[in-house]
Amino acid sequence: MKIEYFHGSVYGNGAMIAEEFKKQMNEKGITVNIHNIKNVKPKEIPNADLYLFGSPGRFGKPARNMQNFLKKANLVQGSKYAVIVTELNPSPDSSSIRIPTEENAGMCQQVIPLINKTLNERGLVKMAEGKVFVTGIRGPLEDGWQKIVEEFASRIPIQNT
Ligand SMILES: Cc1cc2nc3c(=O)[nH]c(=O)nc-3n(C[C@H](O)[C@H](O)[C@H](O)COP(=O)(O)O)c2cc1C
């Protein structure tokens, strides 16, 4: 089984999740190729048994470059996908951190729903979704994030090909 993992990490948190996911999947004999979408042309993406999309939250939505990537990407109808996002922890501890210009954006998060909407409209089939919180606007990831990645990975059906 081959997974192509596309993320839009800016501050490195989503990139760490991708590496952890890859490490865990490699232990199960699954190939994971990681790409930052800033280095990928959406029309030139390789075939995969499953596509994984990882996006940071921006003003309650997926990062704009991820939204554009998902709309343009060369994805065959019926392809399987999973999505994992990083969002600012909405706990009282982090609520004092202001998101520039739209300070309440974190209160109405549509990051995962908007990714699903775009991909479902394109005929892709969701296998799993997950969310890992960051504790500050640029990270770090919340404690125990590796376990969250593990739980997410365990929800992806393994194909023996
Ligand atoms: C301009 C800006 C807007 C942001 N807006 C949101 C938001 O609406 N919701 C949220 O949960 N996090 C928001 N964040 C925090 C991001 O979730 C965080 O930077 C990201 O998860 C880090 O991932 P990365 O290290 O992979 O880039 C924002 C961050 C920036 C810089």
- For 53-67, what is each residue's pLDDT tens digit? 999 999 999 999 999
Q: Give the distance (Å) from ligand 1 centre to CA of residue 90.
A: 12
Q: Please give the DSSP secondary-structure letter assigned to residue 139.
A: B
Domain membership flag for residue 138: yes
Describe the chain by its helix, strand, coil percentages, rounded to 5: 35, 30, 40
Q: How many domains does the chain have?
A: 1
- Indicate the pLDDT class of residue 160, thresholds 50, 70 and 90: confident
Q: What is the CATH number of the domain that holds 132?
A: 3.40.50.360
Domain membership flag for residue 94: yes
Domain membership flag for residue 147: yes
Contact at 8 Å (CB) between 108 and 154? no
pLDDT of 24 reads 97
58 or 93, which is more confident? 58
Which residues, 6+ apart, have CB-to-CB distance to 106 below 8 Å? 57, 60, 87, 88, 90, 99
pLDDT of 159 reads 82
In ligand 1, which atom is closest to the CA atom of 87? 11
Domain membership flag for residue 161: no
Domain membership flag for residue 117: yes
Q: Give the distance (Å) from ligand 1 centre to CA of residue 106.
A: 9
Domain membership flag for residue 53: yes
pLDDT of 100 reads 45
Q: Which of 19, 55, 58 to mutate to test the pocket of ligand 1 (most atoms within 8 A of CB)?
A: 58
pLDDT of 107 reads 55
pLDDT of 161 reads 64
Containing 106, the helix (H) or strand (E) segment is none
Q: Give the distance (Å) from ligand 1 centre to CA of residue 138.
A: 7
Domain membership flag for residue 160: no
Amino acid at 130: G
Average pLDDT, the chain: 92
Q: What percent of the chain has pLDDT over 90?
A: 85
What is the span of the domain harbouring residue 19? Answer: 2-154
Domain membership flag for residue 37: yes
Q: Is the peptide bond before 100 cis (omega within 30 degrees of 0)?
A: no
107 or 39, which is more confident? 39
Each residue of 119-153: pLDDT tens digit?
Answer: 999 999 999 999 999 999 999 999 999 999 999 99
